[in-house]
Structure 1
Amino acid sequence: MDIAALSDESFNAIDWINGNYSKHLKEIEDGSVDNGVSPQQNVKDSVAQDFIAKYVSKLHLYIQQVHCVVEETSQKIVSGMPRVIKDAVLLQAEVEELKKRMHSMRKEMTNVHEETGDCMAALERLNTMQTKLQKAKESLQESDGWGNLICDLEDCFEHNNLKDAFEKLLSLQKSLQVQEQLVGHTERLAQVEDFKNRLEALASPNVVQSFVEGNIDQSKQYVNIFSGIHRVSQLKQYYRAVQKNSLQQKWKQILDIQATESTIQNDFLSAFYSHLLEHCQQQVKWCTQVFDNPRGNFQPIIVLIEVLPSLQPTRDSNILQLLKASNERLELLEKYARANHTFISHLIAFLEQSKIELSNETHFQLVQSVYGYFHKFIEQYPRIEETQLSTQVDKLLVSQPSTVDSVRHLENCNQKIFDWLYDACNRCKNITDDLGLCRLIEIMGGTLKKMLENFSKTQRQISLSITHGAENWLTLQCAMSLLQCLADFQIKLQKFEKSMQNRIIRLKENLVSSNSNKFHIYKICDSQEQKKLISDIDKYLQKFVETGSSYSSSATFFTSIYDQIKGHCVESHDIALNVLLKPVEGHLSNIQPSLNSTSDSLMPANMPEFSFVPQECITQVGQYLLTLPQHLEPLLFTPSPLLKQALEICNVKYTQSVPCADILLSLVVEQCCQLYQSQLLQIKSLSVTASKQFAVDIEYLSNVVEDLGLSISANLSQILVLLKAAPENYLSLSVGCEPRLVTAIRQMRNILSTQ
């Protein structure tokens, strides 16, 4: 029986009895328990009674045992209670005694504090008074020796004894510190400062001499002296003054050599920069040995920052003088800009090698000292570049005696003009680091417009060379060559514009990240200039739209230039059409406005049309049109990519997968039909015979055009129908024709309107 289950918090008597009963049945079935009943009888009632009897007897026995244990425990507790009560009473008495002792001790501590507090305050006052008295005593003692020190110091100054004067001055400084509490301290302080000034004046000639000679040992002694009197900053000023004077003399020497020797005339800046860099390297090593201050090796850098803006004559004035006397101003500016960049790059490498770290302010001052003077030349550069480009283009745009020579000259000019533009961009990079790029783009736009004016002149020259009524195949070839030249100009312009876009993007990136590049020339621009430049760049970038087509109407750097190129292409194409149409115009001009009306009475009314033959002028037009393919195919059957692109700019029809010769021929036929139609509509009156004659002419022209694989215009076809229509059927046959043509032909044929 599981007795432990009785103490479980979730004990359930029914579940416990049923569980034990099931376990009891299982044991009987397994044969492990013999209850006197045969398992084969399977009498559940007897098994249950037997289970109950056994478990009840066991429970009775367990209860009896529990009662015995409880009784025994109770007896022990009762017998021990008197002893527990006695211990509790004793413990309470001890607690009361402890409380009394603690109260008594607190009272004693309060009394002691009250009695000794006044004594401690008195002791503190006495100690303070003793300290003051001690200081006063020392001050009085030093005051007694102050006069002696003054006398000794004066004696040293009279004998120019710098070493002893320095030692006496140090003693005087210590004595002054001790006499801080005495009356007249301010006067004594002023007296000490006066002695420091006299000591500095006494030492300054020797200091300057030692700095000039570069004597390390003597310089160290003076550093020690000036450190003792707390005037190292003045000593460094002496050092910088000596070095600046030396560099100024070297600058004048280089300029004097420049004035006498032409070999160094344009290299004076590079020569001075080389000397300055070498001098800086030497002085950094020297200052590291002389000045104990960790920042002592910064003095040569400060000298460099101070000497460059203070050079006399200034760098910019000397450069301006040379620019005025030179015809190669851009080359000179490029040389001086390169000298600036080379110097700053070598200086950066030296600073990194020497592990000299400069503050942000020093970085800015250094860049300003090197590049600051060049800012005015960066502003002047676009104007100088504009002058040179204008001069070059003016020399290039020279009139040629013939149209062929003019076109060939333009072909050569294309490459030259863009070579000059690329050279200008390179100069802009070398001189201004592209700071003048936005202004240069405007200048280049003007240069390109001037170049396109030469295309206009050549177009006029080609137009004037057209002979009226004759075949001008050489002129046609010139027009096609001009188209090809224009396409070549546009392709070069697109390539150039793409390079400009990349450069202007890099310029913006450099301007935005100029803070990270501490030695960049962009630091010479103040914040307002940088903001304006970035704003100008953004305007250009917003305009620029990259497209894959040969021509785009989208805004670009040179939108007006592209518009002019398209206009010139269209004009050149019109010239080519005009060349091809001139013979047609000459033949069509022979069409008579009217025929002899009296001849109609001599002819039968039902005269067959096949008896008519086309007029000579129409047959001449037809023969001319039939000869056009053999003249156009050499030019346009397999045109060059440049000519193909130019034709596509002129007319969208050329973008079809059809030979350009066929498209041009169709345009010629279209214009020919238009000219013929205009010539016909000028006739005031037509007889029956004349109407039939013109109908035969139009049919002939239609057959010729069909032989070319084309068809006459719709208006001309309608005119043919209206000319052949009988007067009585005119109204019905004119249905679907253009009303303007119907009215015009009716009036020409003198057909009465039935409406």
Structure 2
Amino acid sequence: MDIAALSNESFNAIDWINGSYNKHLKEIGNEIDKKGPTESNDNDFIAKDFIAKNVSKLHLYIQQVHNAVEETSQKVVSGMPRVVKDALELQTEVEELKKRMHAMRREMTNVQEETGDCMAALERLNTIQTKLQKAKESLQESDGWGNLICELEDCFEHNNLKGAFDKLLSLQKSLQVQEQLVGHAERLAQVEDFKNRLEAVASPNVVQCFSEGSVEHTKQYVSIFSGIQRVAQLEQYYRAVQKNSLQQKWKQILDMQAAESSNQTHFLSVFYNYLLEHCHQQVKWCAQVFHNMQGNIQPVIVIIELLPSLQPSRDSYILQLLKACNERLELLEEYAQANHTFMAHLTAFLEQSKIELSYETHCQLLQSVYGYFHKFIEQYPRIEETQLSTQVDKLLVSQTSAVDSVRHLDNCNQKMFDWLSDACERCSHITDDLGLCRLIEIICGILKKMLENFSKTQRQISLSIDNGTENWSTLQCSMSLLQCLADFQIKLQKFEKSLQIRMSKLKENLISTSSCKISVYKTYDIQEQKKLISNIEKYQKKNMESSSAYASSSIFFTFIYDQIKIHCVETHEIALNVLLKPIEGHLLSIQPSLNPSSDSLMPANMPEFSFAPQECITQIGQYLLTLPQHLEPLLFTPSPLLKQGLEICNVKYTQAVPCADILLSLVVEQCCQVYQSQLLQIKSLSAISSKQFAVDIEYLSSVVEDLGLSISANLSQILILLKAAPENYLALSAGCEPRLVTAIRQMRNIVSTQ
């Protein structure tokens, strides 16, 4: 039996019993095989035998455990008095230790109180001793001050720069020691005077070293100036030498460019390239010579101080070239790009060299590069206006005929907007769009000139209408002008969208200049920035408040869009006038019979079929019937531009109906209006004349119906009033317009019964 398994933490009684039972079966397996078949299969007997043996063993083990526990408990009980006695003795010793610690603390407090005054006295005596020691050293140094001054003067007389530097260092150390003595301020002034003398003696050699670029000799002077705390003055000498050298190079480049007439405009790019190369070399040289962090940025500070002080200045020289040059905008664009290129390359070099400029230094660098160019940014709009006006004046030349004028305008549209796009690109390159608002005002003036030319062409077309003739060439010309106007509007809308994008981007750049590290915006005047932002917001507000249908998305050209619509409507009216001119000529001949006798010879009750339409009405009918064959080739499938132009003129053209049919309906509508006006001008009508005019209107109505249209409502009412018998006039006139009822009644001399 495995008794050790009982102490295992994972003990399981069932598993333990089964394991023991299986082991028991293996032990008695051979004996079971030798017994008979009945006994060999009696598992109950084997189990009972196993249980009996193991239970007896367990009883024995339990008895042994009880005996061991009883023996152990007796030992513990017998030892308890001794443990209690030891605990009481330990408690007594702890109490005694506490008393001793309190006594020691009282003794330490007493000692501290007794020795505190003594320690303060010792500290005071130590301080006095230190002061006396310093005073002693100061007196000793004071005794040697005169000797150092004499030795320093001797070094100056013999021009011994190294010896003078060493003596001056000793003098500085001696001055620090004599800080407590009277007359320290005078000695300090005396040392500063010697520093000035040393700097004056060393300055010619320093300038020569900087000019020659000698690294070893320059290092010696760097150590000397560092020792006397004059590194800032040494850096000034360095910058002065470099600026003088670069100033001479500037004059040399200007002289060389002036001698070459073909390349004299490239002076700025040439100088900037030389300046970049010089900066690369000097940064490496300064890294070898100057050991402080400010040494590497000295070439950059040279550029900052040099560019605004160049003689002649960049702006004055550019002004001279502008006065003698015809391509002034190209010249300004070249210099603006030279500024951007130089600044971009310089910034890339500084990043590559891991030279970090402070925010103030970076702003100074931007100001030195871009500052001079702001006067040209202010002049740019005026120069651009001059060039655009010259181009437009040459382009908008009057043509001899209306057809040539329309064809010329069609060609002008593309050229005009190409020039305007080029002007915007120049504005971006030259001013970084800072002159965009003023440029837009100039563009408005240019567009007005273009519209004036449209007006001139309209007048030419209007004057070319022949009296009483069918002028199909003029109609074609007016349609071409309408198409040209639509093309002008589409190009203007596309152009304005690009301007809106650029203006929004300009506003972002002005508001958040921190995002534009290399930018001319940082050098732009704060007040001018606020003014420009205010102008942009004014444009945007104007866009939101716009109520014009064709300018709802317009920020800049609301007036232009309104004028385009007016010109489109006027051009469409010209086309209508062309088509109505023959009709008006025929309608002017409409008059009642002036011979009363002829009317008296004809019975008033003649049937209507005995009347025939007047010749002028039949001619109008024939003309209207021939219009579709003239209009369909022109307007059955109009170009998208012509379709848009027609839609601007009249909303009816937006319907899913051929434009030719809509124009024909407008002609019929105008024809009815003119016919009505002509009828209402008649003072008196006889019964025969009333029937004649009724027949004429019915004929015209049938012709119009053949065209798929109908005469106007007023003309239909006039027909009813002309055919009404005098005795039934009042009843039949019900529902007609009162003005027409009264007019026809007076014309027919019908007495009112009301």
**TM alignment of 1:131-530, pairs within 5 A:** 131-530=130-529
The residue matched to 2:514 in structure 1 has which SS? coil
Question: Per-residue deviation at 1:574?
Answer: 0.3
Question: Per-residue deviation at 1:173?
Answer: 1.2
Tell me which amino acid in the other structure corresponds to 2:235.
Answer: K
**TM alignment of 1:595-606, pairs within 5 A:** 595-606=594-605
Does the 8 A contact of 1:456 with 1:568 survive in 2? yes
Distance 1:102 1:696 in 2: 145
The residue matched to 2:489 in structure 1 has which SS? helix
Distance 1:91 1:728 in 2: 151
Question: Per-residue deviation at 1:182?
Answer: 2.1
**Structure 1 stretch displaced more, 106-115 or 95-104:** 95-104
Tell me which amino acid in the other structure corresponds to 1:733.
Answer: L
The residue matched to 2:594 in structure 1 has which SS? coil
**Structure 1 stretch displaced more, 135-144 or 361-370:** 135-144
| Per-residue CA distance 1:137-178 (angstroms, 9 max, x = gap) | 222222222111111110110011111111111111111122
Does the 8 A contact of 1:593 with 1:684 survive in 2? no
Distance 2:239 2:694 in 1: 106
Does the 8 A contact of 1:501 with 1:541 survive in 2? no
Does the 8 A contact of 1:162 with 1:203 survive in 2? yes
Q: Specify every segment of 5 or more residues in structure 2 that has no aligned partner in the other structure, as ranges.
A: 1-69
Distance 1:742 1:89 in 2: 141
Distance 2:90 2:220 in 1: 85
Distance 1:119 1:91 in 2: 43
Question: Per-residue deviation at 1:342?
Answer: 0.9
Distance 1:663 1:243 in 2: 81
> Structure 2 length normalisation: TM-score?
0.86
Distance 1:90 1:420 in 2: 115
The residue matched to 2:516 in structure 1 has which SS? coil
Distance 1:397 1:407 in 2: 11
Tell me which amino acid in the other structure corresponds to 1:665.
Answer: L
Tell me which amino acid in the other structure corresponds to 1:187.
Answer: E
Q: 1:98 to 1:636 in 2, by over 3 A?
A: closer
Distance 1:110 1:496 in 2: 96
Tell me which amino acid in the other structure corresponds to 2:402.
Answer: T
> Structure 1 length normalisation: TM-score?
0.86
Does the 8 A contact of 2:592 with 2:689 survive in 1? no
Does the 8 A contact of 1:543 with 1:556 survive in 2? yes
Q: What is the identity percentage for the equivalent residue pairs of Structure 1 and Structure 2?
A: 82
The residue matched to 2:308 in structure 1 has which SS? coil
Question: Per-residue deviation at 1:194?
Answer: 0.8
Distance 1:92 1:685 in 2: 150
Does the 8 A contact of 1:363 with 1:519 survive in 2? no
2:126 — aligned with what?
127
2:586 — aligned with what?
587
Distance 1:403 1:325 in 2: 41
**Structure 1 stretch displaced more, 650-659 or 170-179:** 170-179
Distance 2:417 2:87 in 1: 117
| Per-residue CA distance 1:102-121 (angstroms, 9 max, x = gap) | 56545544443344334333
**Structure 1 stretch displaced more, 561-570 or 140-149:** 140-149
| Per-residue CA distance 1:327-356 (angstroms, 9 max, x = gap) | 221111111101111111111111111111
Distance 1:644 1:599 in 2: 53
1:626 equivalenced with 2:638 (yes/no): no
Equivalent residue pairs, number: 682
Tell me which amino acid in the other structure corresponds to 1:387.
Answer: T
| Per-residue CA distance 1:453-509 (angstroms, 9 max, x = gap) | 000111111111111111111111111110000001011111111111111122222
Question: Per-residue deviation at 1:86?
Answer: 9.2
1:613 — aligned with what?
612
Distance 2:84 2:562 in 1: 121
The residue matched to 1:434 in structure 2 has which SS? coil
Does the 8 A contact of 1:257 with 1:264 survive in 2? no
Q: 1:149 to 1:571 in 2, by over 3 A?
A: same
Does the 8 A contact of 2:155 with 2:163 survive in 1? yes
1:17 — aligned with what?
none
Question: Per-residue deviation at 1:262?
Answer: 1.0
Does the 8 A contact of 2:604 with 2:688 survive in 1? no
| Per-residue CA distance 1:704-725 (angstroms, 9 max, x = gap) | 1111111111111111111111
Tell me which amino acid in the other structure corresponds to 2:511.
Answer: V
Tell me which amino acid in the other structure corresponds to 1:506.
Answer: K
Question: Per-residue deviation at 1:270?
Answer: 1.0
Distance 2:717 2:549 in 1: 39
The residue matched to 2:439 in structure 1 has which SS? helix
**Structure 1 stretch displaced more, 645-654 or 254-263:** 254-263
Question: Per-residue deviation at 1:268?
Answer: 1.2
The residue matched to 2:351 in structure 1 has which SS? helix
1:57 — aligned with what?
none
**Structure 1 stretch displaced more, 417-426 or 726-735:** 726-735
2:65 — aligned with what?
none
2:63 — aligned with what?
none
2:735 — aligned with what?
736
Question: Per-residue deviation at 1:546?
Answer: 13
Q: 1:305 to 1:493 in 2, by over 3 A?
A: same
Q: 1:343 to 1:87 in 2, by over 3 A?
A: closer
Q: 1:169 to 1:680 in 2, by over 3 A?
A: same
Question: Per-residue deviation at 1:601?
Answer: 2.5
| Per-residue CA distance 1:249-296 (angstroms, 9 max, x = gap) | 111222222333213321111111111111111110110010011221
Q: 1:150 to 1:726 in 2, by over 3 A?
A: same
Distance 1:248 1:564 in 2: 57
**Structure 1 stretch displaced more, 258-267 or 411-420:** 258-267
**TM alignment of 1:599-748, pairs within 5 A:** 599-748=598-747
Distance 1:90 1:586 in 2: 148
| Per-residue CA distance 1:381-407 (angstroms, 9 max, x = gap) | 112111211121111121111111111
2:559 — aligned with what?
560
Distance 1:623 1:95 in 2: 142
Q: 1:313 to 1:747 in 2, by over 3 A?
A: same
Question: Per-residue deviation at 1:611?
Answer: 1.6
Distance 2:84 2:640 in 1: 125
Question: Per-residue deviation at 1:374?
Answer: 0.6
Distance 2:99 2:250 in 1: 99
Question: Per-residue deviation at 1:323?
Answer: 1.3
The residue matched to 1:263 in structure 2 has which SS? coil
Q: 1:680 to 1:302 in 2, by over 3 A?
A: same
Q: 1:167 to 1:711 in 2, by over 3 A?
A: same
The residue matched to 1:267 in structure 2 has which SS? helix
The residue matched to 1:606 in structure 2 has which SS? coil
Does the 8 A contact of 2:496 with 2:554 survive in 1? no
Does the 8 A contact of 1:595 with 1:686 survive in 2? no
Does the 8 A contact of 2:550 with 2:562 survive in 1? no
The residue matched to 1:296 in structure 2 has which SS? coil
Q: 1:342 to 1:752 in 2, by over 3 A?
A: same
The residue matched to 1:561 in structure 2 has which SS? helix
| Per-residue CA distance 1:97-136 (angstroms, 9 max, x = gap) | 6676556545544443344334333332332232222222
Q: 1:342 to 1:92 in 2, by over 3 A?
A: closer
Does the 8 A contact of 1:636 with 1:659 survive in 2? yes
Distance 1:106 1:314 in 2: 87
Tell me which amino acid in the other structure corresponds to 1:146.
Answer: W
The residue matched to 1:312 in structure 2 has which SS? coil
